[in-house]
Amino acid sequence: MSNTDIDFSIITVSYNSEKTIARTIKSVLSQSYENYEYIIIDGASTDNTTSIIEKYKDRFKGKLKYISEPDKGIYDAMNKGIALANGKVIALLNSDDYYFENTLFTIHEAYNSSNKKSVISAELIFKSDAGEQLLKTSEKRFKKVMKQYKNGVRHPATFVPKLIYDKVGFFNLAYKIASDAELIFRIYTAGYDFIFVNKPLVVMCDGGISNSKGIFKQLILENHYLLKAYCPSFVLRLYFMILTILRLAIKEISGGLTSIFRKIDNR
């Protein structure tokens, strides 16, 4: 199969992920739809992550490639993976998340029914010590949340055609936590369509950088960047900035800061 015939490029970014990456890799191996390549970008892990990757490499029959080297953070690593990708659609699967068996099949059907240049976003299961919760998606929710200058998609369950990255660019490294949100706004304002699959296709496990405590100042700063770039009204920027500060302050005080970009909100 030539590079131009690959439908999906699945990219996993890892760093010291020995406790979870085997489950992630096995979820890729279990896919009922098999026209994909798998790219793992490891940030020079010091644990057994690369040994685990090597253990499964032969089972992919040439479809898995990985590199292990220092990077400038998660979004830099994702950009490396996108640059290496040959698939028509890019899938970003974190090293502690995992797919259901028919995830790629479902997205392939949606992609073939589309104009081939639309973002496809599905629902996901958010898994934490408190239990599991279905994070829903819909066009109505997307438009509502985007009007509030927050990320309107469930990013781990969002699949972006490579041609969109080629047109609008990769992740902006000026953002350390919310580059996924900035990219979605960039794609949206460029006029690309979004398609929604109303079923969970990914299990997202708590532990991402934007789900960590102690990041209050960075989130405020990046929200300021986002509003300045995409909200034309000074009055609205001030309004949403105050709301963000209040919301994050309450969560910080309560000891349960969760990313505003991955907020559990099904309304």
Query: Is the distance from CB of 177 to CB of 224 less than 8 angstroms?
Result: no
All residues at 6 or more sequence positions from 178 whose CB lies less than 8 Å from its CB, including other chains: 151, 210, 219, 222, 223, 226, 259, 261
Encode pLDDT of 161-213 as tens digits. 999 999 999 999 999 999 999 999 999 999 999 999 999 999 999 864 444 45
Residue 79 has pLDDT above 90, yes or no: yes
Encode pLDDT of 212-253 as tens digits. 455 788 889 999 999 999 999 999 999 999 998 888 887 767
Which is it for strands 119-128 and 158-161: parallel, antiparallel or unpaired? antiparallel
Q: List the domain boundaries for the chain.
A: 3-209
Encode pLDDT of 100-159 as tens digits. 999 999 999 999 999 999 999 999 999 988 899 999 999 999 999 999 999 999 999 999
Q: In the predicted model, what is the mean pLDDT of the chain?
A: 91
pTM score, whole prediction = 0.89
Encode pLDDT of 40-58 as tens digits. 999 999 999 999 999 999 9
Among 130, 129, 110, 128, CA closest to 120:
110
Among 111, 98, 100, CA closest to 6:
111
- Please state which of the four CATH numbers 3.40.50.10140, 3.30.360.10, 3.30.565.10, 3.90.550.10 is assigned to the domain occupying 3-209: 3.90.550.10
